[in-house]
Amino acid sequence: MKPNIYSIILYVGTAVAALALAYASFKSATVAWSVGICVAIGVVVYAFSMLPEPKKVARSDEAPKTQRSPAAQAAVVVAVIFGLMLVVPTVVLWLGRYSPELGALVGGVALMALFLILWLRSRYQRSHERDEG
């Protein structure tokens, strides 16, 4: 990949953020746990990027088509995710009273779950767009 201004900004920003987190981790155990959780989540996300493309499912012409539109399905997914995300801060603060590390873990997992759901949905949509197109 040929470096451009955006990739340079991304690399420099990542390096600065990593240095700031390393310094903060040295000063506070809670930040160290949070950084460790974020690194673990990053490793999992990187592993997901190596998954093979989903297999195409052969569809027969006799199969009935669903009457729901993709926009309605997306609206339902977004509404459910939004509703669940309204509960997350309360749960994280409640858990944080007992253990800040557990609160950070639950918050990080909840945020990554949001992106994981959206990423899996996009993979599903792409695999089915190829079948129709």
In a domain, 81, yes or no: yes
Domain count, the chain: 2
pTM of the full structure:
0.46
CB atoms inside a 10 Å sphere around CB 34: 21
Same domain, 3 and 38: yes
- Judge if 76 and 105 occupy the same domain: yes
45 lies in the same domain as 79: no
Shared domain check, 36 and 76: no
Tell me which residue of 70, 66, 57 sits closest to 128, measured CA to CA.
57
Tell me how far CA of residue 5 lies from CA of 13, 17, 38, 46, 104, in angstroms: 12, 18, 26, 24, 33
Do 125 and 91 sit in the same domain of this protein? Answer: yes
Q: Which domain holds residue 83?
A: 69-133
* pLDDT tens, per residue, the chain with 133 residues: 566 777 777 777 777 777 777 777 777 777 777 777 777 777 777 777 777 776 766 666 555 555 667 778 778 877 888 888 888 889 889 998 988 888 888 888 888 887 888 788 788 777 777 666 5
